[in-house]
Amino acid sequence: MSAYREPRRRSPPLPVPRGPLSSEVVTALRTGPDHPIADLDTTAADPFGDDLQLALYVLYELHYQGFADVDEECEWDPALLGLRRSLERPFLEALRAGARTEGDVDTVLAGLLVEPVGDDGNSVSHFLRKDGELWQLREYAALRSLYHLKEADPHAWVIPRLYGRAKAAMVAVEFDEFGGGREADVHARLYADLMTDLSLETAYGHYLDVAPADVLATVNLMSLFGLHRSLRGALVGHFAAVEVTSSPGSRRLAAALKRVGAGEAAQRFYDEHVEADAVHEQVVRRDVIGGLLADEPHLASDVAFGIEATGLVEDRLAARLLAAWRSDSTALRAPLD
C-alpha cells in the first residue's frame, strides 16, 4: 500500500484577514451559518487588491477543501453567497475591462502559439531558467501550490456543462491530470513531491498567508469561471490558455530546477507537463473548443475572453515576481522560513 498521504487530508486554518472585506468573511466563518453580514461597499475596494482577492479566495475554498473548524453548512449560506456575488462583480468587471479583445478565438489562440524569440524580459520561466536562484524557485513553488495542490479541480466544474465531443475530450484531458487512474501520477501528488524536494511544506493552503493578491487572482479566476454556468465558455478559454502555454514554460522550469540541483521529483512534475500538455493542447483546441463552438457558437466571445483574462492575471503576477526578484527581494508577503 502506498505510504503517500494526500496533502488535503486536513482542511487548512483560516487565514489572517487583510482588510474589512476579508475580516468580515473570516469572522462570519468563525461564527457559523446565519451570521449577519455587514453592509460593505465592495465597489470601493481594489478588484485586484489583497482584501477583495483574499475574501473571494476564502469563500471559493468552501467549495473545495473548506477550513478547519468551519461549519460545512457555510458553503451554501445565503448571506455568504450574496457577499461572494458582490465581490465577484467588481472582479469580473475589471477582468472584462483589462482583457478586451477584438480578435476571434482562432486569432487569440494563434497569439498563444507564437513563442517569443528568447526572453522578452517579462517571462518568469525564462528568468528562472537563465538566472533563477534556488530561493526564487522555492518562492515560485510555494505560491503556485495554491493551485497545483488541487490541480485540475476548478476545471472539472465545466464537465457537467458540456456535452458530446467537447465533454468527451475534456474528460480525457482531466483523466490525465488526475493520474490516468493511478494515484502516484495524480498531478497534485507530483507537485507535492516537487515541494518536498524543495524542502517546502506540502499541507494544502499552507502558503496562503504569504501569497500576494496577484497569486490569489490567478486561482480565483478559475473558480469564478468554474462556479458560474454562464461563464463556461470563459473557463474553456482559460483551460486552453493553460494547456497551450504549459509545455514550453514547463520545459524551461524543469531546466531551471535541474540547474540549481533540485531533486528528481521536482524536475519530474514539469517534465511530465512538457509531454502531456503538448498532446493536451491539440485535444483542447480541436475537440474541447471545437466541439463547444460547434454546439454553442454564441460562446466564441466568452472563450476568447477567458484566454485574454488568463493572460491579464498571469502578466500581473509575472510583473510582481520579476520586479521583486530583480531587486533581490522576496515576492512573498513575508519570506519563507
- Give the tens place of pLDDT for each residue, 120-138: 678 999 999 999 999 999 9
Return all residues near 10 (Cβ < 8 A) that are at least 6 apart: 68, 203, 204
The predicted model gives 273-279 an average pLDDT of 71
DSSP line for 115-159:
--SS--S--HHHHHHHT--HHHHHHHHHHHHHHHTTTTHHHHTTG
Q: Going by CATH, does the domain composed of 104-326 fall within 1.20.910.10?
A: yes
Residue 215's alpha-carbon distances to 30, 142, 300, 303, 317, in angstroms, are 25, 11, 27, 22, 6
Sign of CA dihedral 93, 98, 102, 103: negative
At residue 103, does pLDDT exceed 80?
no
pLDDT for 1 equals 37
At residue 250, does pLDDT exceed 80?
yes
pLDDT for 24 equals 95
Tell me if 145 sits within 8 A of 137, measured CB to CB. Answer: no
Domain borders along the chain are 20-97, 104-326
pTM score, whole prediction: 0.94
Chain segment 29-66, per-residue pLDDT in tens: 999 887 788 888 888 899 999 999 999 999 999 999 99
The predicted model gives 169-186 an average pLDDT of 92
Query: pLDDT-based confidence at 117, cuts 50/70/90?
Result: low
Residue 4: what are its φ and ψ, rounded to 5°? Answer: -65, 140
The predicted model gives 86-105 an average pLDDT of 91
At residue 73, does pLDDT exceed 90?
yes
pLDDT for 8 equals 67
Chain segment 301-319, per-residue pLDDT in tens: 999 999 999 999 999 999 9
The phi-psi region of residue 246 (left if phi > 0; otherwise alpha if psi is between -120 and 50; otherwise beta) is alpha
Is pLDDT larger for residue 82 or for residue 337? 82
pLDDT for 38 equals 81
pLDDT for 166 equals 97
At residue 118, does pLDDT exceed 60?
no
pLDDT for 2 equals 47
Give the span between the Cα atoms of 173 and 20, in whole angstroms.
40
pLDDT for 274 equals 79
pLDDT for 277 equals 61
Is pLDDT larger for residue 223 or for residue 285? 223
Chain segment 194-248, per-residue pLDDT in tens: 999 999 999 999 999 999 999 999 999 999 999 999 999 999 999 999 988 888 8
How large a percentage of the chain has pLDDT more than 90? 75
pLDDT for 119 equals 59
- Which three cell numbers, joined as nine digits, stand for 126? 525564462
pLDDT for 39 equals 83
Nearest to 219 by CA among 272, 290, 280, 148: 148
Residue 44's alpha-carbon distances to 95, 210, 297, in angstroms, are 16, 24, 36
On average, the pLDDT of the chain sits at 92
